[in-house]
Structure 1
Amino acid sequence: MTKSMTGFGRGTARHELLAVTVEIKSVNHRFHECSVKMPRMYAEAEDKIKKVISSYIKRGKVDVYISVESEKPNSHKLLVDWELLDAYAQFVRDASDRYNIEEDLRVRDLLKQTDAFTAVEIKEEHSADDVILSALNEACRKLSDMRTNEGKELENELLYQVQSLKQNVEYAMEISPQVSKKYKERLEKTIREYTNGIDENRLLTEVAIFAEKADVTEEFTRLLSHIKQFENALKKNEPIGRRLDFLTQEMHREVNTVGSKAGDERVAAVVIDMKSILEKIREQVQNIE
C-alpha cells in the first residue's frame, strides 16, 4: 500500500476533569524524525508517545503538539530538608554558647530558611498518560488515513507515468535498429560524393563499429526490468519510498546512456520525453513513505 509522507491528524480525550488535545503533522524527510511539544510535567510520557507514533509512521518528519487542560485544582505537598534545618538550629545553639548570647530559636526563624522547603505539585501521572495516549492514537489514525488516501492518488499518478515511460521505451526499441541502417546509407552517400568507388569491406567495417557503439539493447533490457520492479514495489504493503527513489535514479542513468549512445534524432527526441517523465516520477516519489 502506497502511503504519502504528508498528513495531519487531531485527537481529543477526556477523563474526569482532565482534557487532552493532540495535533500531529508529518512532512517529507529522508528518515523518521519525531518532535514532541507538551507540558513539561508530562515529559516522562515522551518515550511512550514516540513508540506509538513509530507504529504508525516509518518515514517522515513528524511534529506533535499536546495540550493538557485540568479543571481540578492543583494540589501540592511540602518537601522539607530536615538535615539542613537541624544544622541551622545547631548553629544557633553553638553560637549562643560560644558568645554567651541568649537567643530563642523560634519556628518563624526556621521558615526563613527557604532553601530547606520545596513545594511540589501532586499529579496523577498514570491516568494522565492514559488520556494522552488515547488522544494520540486518535490523531495518529486520522493522520494515517490522510496519508493513505493521498498515497492512493500518488500511486495512480505514478502508474500512469510509468506506463507512459514504458511506451516510450518500446517505441525507442523499435526505431533503434534502423539507426545503423541510416548510418550506412549516409556513409555510403558521402563516400560516393568524394570518391570514385566504394570499398564494401571498409564500409561494412565502419558500419559494424558504429552499430556496436550505438547498441543500446542492454540499456533497454535493464530499463524495462527497472520499470517492472517499480510496478511490483507499488503493490507491496510496506514503506517503499527509498526503493522507488533508487529505481528512479537507475532508470534515469539508463536513459542518459541511451541518449549518449544512440546517434539518431528520433531516439534523441524519445530520450527527452523519457527524461521529462522520469522527472515527474522523481518529484512524486519524494512524497512516498
Structure 2
Amino acid sequence: MLISMTGHGSASDTFDWGMARLDIYSVNSRYQNIAVRCPKELYALEYPIREELKDRFKRGKLTVSLYASFAPDLKTARINGDVLENYFEELMSIHGRLKLLEEIQLEILLDLPGVLEQPEVCVFDIYDKVVEDTLSVLNEALSKWNEMRRIEGDHIASFIIQTIDKYEILIANIEKEWDNAFRDELEELKRKISLLLPGKIQEDETSHFDGVALLADKWDIKEEITRSKSHIIKFRETLNSPSSEGKKLDFLLQEMLREINTIASKVKNAQIRWYVVEGKCLLEQIREHVQNVE
C-alpha cells in the first residue's frame, strides 16, 4: 500500500459558541513537519492540534489553518458592575466635595480599566468545549485528507507496478544478452593476453587461464544481475506491505541504481549498454514517484 504525501482536506461545523473551519494541506518533505495557524484568540489550540497530528502521518510538510467565528454573546464585551459601581461612588464623593453641578455620565466610565471584560475572557471560560469541538472538526478534515492521499497513492502504485514490470523484463534481456556475449568477451580477452604474452602462455598455460578467470570475474555482470533480481522481489514485497514504506522503497531504488551503474561500467556490449540506459530511465521515473510517498 502506498500513501501520497500530497493531499488536502477541509471541514467545518457550527456550535453553541460559534463556527470552526479547518483546512489541511500537505506536500513532500523528507521529515515530519507540522505548521499550525490559529486565530489570535485561539492560539492556545495550537498545542492540542499538533499533538493530535503527530501520530497521523510519518513524513511530509503539513499545514493546518484554523478559522473561527464566535457567537454574538461571546463577541460582546461585558460590563463589570462592581467595578463600575466603585468608580461611580468614588467620583460622586469627589463631585460632592468639589460642589460640581455637572452630572456624571456613566458612558464615560466605560473606558476606565476593568469596567469592560473583553471577549477573550469569555472564550477562556469555555476553552475545554472549544478544544473538544475543534478536534472533532479536525478529525473530519483528516479523514478527507487521508482519503485523498490514499487515492493518489493508488495512482502512484499503479504506475510503479507497471514500470517495475518493464524493468524486470529489461534485466531479463540483459541476462539473455550477456549469456551470448560472455563467451565472445572471454575469447577476446584470451586473444589480447596471447598477443601480449605469447611466450608465457606456452610455458605455463595453467597460469594463463587463471589470469583470464581472474580478469573475467572483474567484468562479469552475473552477480549484478542476480542482485538486481533480488532487489526487484524485495521492492515488490515492500510495495505490497500493509503500511506505506516510502523511505524503504527509496533505499531499495538506490541499490538498484548502483547495480545497473556497475553493469554499465563493466560491459562493452552495445546492446547491453543501451538496456542500461533504458533501465536507469525507468528507475529514475519510479524514484520521482516514490519521493512523493509517505
Q: What's the TM-score, normalizing by structure 1?
A: 0.79
C-alpha distance in 2 between matches for 1:207 and 1:196 = 14
Structure 2 match to 1:153: 155
Q: In the superposition, relative to structure 1, how do residues 177 and 211 fare at CA in structure 2: closer, same or farther (>3 Å)?
A: farther
CA positional deviation for 1:118:
8.2
Paired letter, 2:43: A
C-alpha distance in 2 between matches for 1:238 and 1:187 = 50
Q: In the superposition, relative to structure 1, how do residues 173 and 128 fare at CA in structure 2: closer, same or farther (>3 Å)?
A: same
C-alpha distance in 1 between matches for 2:183 and 2:239 = 40
Paired letter, 1:268: R
The DSSP-based 3-state class of the residue aligned with 2:72 is coil
Structure 2 match to 1:227: 232
- The answer on whether the counterparts of 2:77 and 2:116 sit within 8 Å (CA) in structure 1 is no
C-alpha distance in 1 between matches for 2:78 and 2:71 = 19
1:252 paired to 2:257: yes
C-alpha distance in 1 between matches for 2:57 and 2:155 = 19
Q: What root-mean-square deviation, in Å, do the aligned CA atoms of Structure 1 and Structure 2 show?
A: 3.3
Structure 2 match to 1:176: 178
C-alpha distance in 2 between matches for 1:251 and 1:187 = 28
1:1-289 equivalences in 2 (<5 Å): 1-73=1-73, 74-76=75-77, 119-121=117-119, 122-123=122-123, 124-186=126-188, 201=205, 204=209, 207-289=212-294
C-alpha distance in 2 between matches for 1:40 and 1:255 = 55
- The answer on whether the counterparts of 2:18 and 2:70 sit within 8 Å (CA) in structure 1 is yes
Farther off after superposition, 221-230 or 201-210: 201-210
Residues 165-211 of structure 1 show CA distances to partners (whole Å, capped at 9, x for unaligned) of 11111221222233331124445777999999996748745643442
The DSSP-based 3-state class of the residue aligned with 1:231 is helix
The DSSP-based 3-state class of the residue aligned with 1:274 is helix
CA positional deviation for 1:221:
2.0
- The answer on whether the counterparts of 2:11 and 2:138 sit within 8 Å (CA) in structure 1 is yes
C-alpha distance in 2 between matches for 1:220 and 1:191 = 27
Q: Give the unaligned 5+ runs of structure 1.
A: 83-88, 90-102
Q: In the superposition, relative to structure 1, how do residues 279 and 117 fare at CA in structure 2: closer, same or farther (>3 Å)?
A: same
Q: In the superposition, relative to structure 1, how do residues 274 and 2 fare at CA in structure 2: closer, same or farther (>3 Å)?
A: same
CA positional deviation for 1:58:
2.0
- The answer on whether the counterparts of 2:9 and 2:24 sit within 8 Å (CA) in structure 1 is yes
CA positional deviation for 1:261:
1.4
Q: In the superposition, relative to structure 1, how do residues 209 and 177 fare at CA in structure 2: closer, same or farther (>3 Å)?
A: farther
C-alpha distance in 1 between matches for 2:196 and 2:227 = 41
C-alpha distance in 2 between matches for 1:2 and 1:48 = 28
C-alpha distance in 1 between matches for 2:182 and 2:239 = 38
Q: In the superposition, relative to structure 1, how do residues 189 and 3 fare at CA in structure 2: closer, same or farther (>3 Å)?
A: same
Paired letter, 1:213: K
Q: In the superposition, relative to structure 1, how do residues 54 and 207 fare at CA in structure 2: closer, same or farther (>3 Å)?
A: same
Structure 2 match to 1:97: none
Residues 98-135 of structure 1 show CA distances to partners (whole Å, capped at 9, x for unaligned) of xxxxx98xx99xx8x97788844311212222221122
Paired letter, 2:219: A
C-alpha distance in 2 between matches for 1:208 and 1:10 = 66
The DSSP-based 3-state class of the residue aligned with 1:58 is coil
Q: How much identity, in percent, do the aligned residues show?
A: 29
- The answer on whether the counterparts of 2:23 and 2:66 sit within 8 Å (CA) in structure 1 is yes
CA positional deviation for 1:40:
1.9
Farther off after superposition, 140-149 or 65-74: 65-74
C-alpha distance in 1 between matches for 2:77 and 2:49 = 27
C-alpha distance in 1 between matches for 2:48 and 2:279 = 47
Q: In the superposition, relative to structure 1, how do residues 55 and 192 fare at CA in structure 2: closer, same or farther (>3 Å)?
A: closer
C-alpha distance in 1 between matches for 2:146 and 2:233 = 28
C-alpha distance in 1 between matches for 2:132 and 2:197 = 92
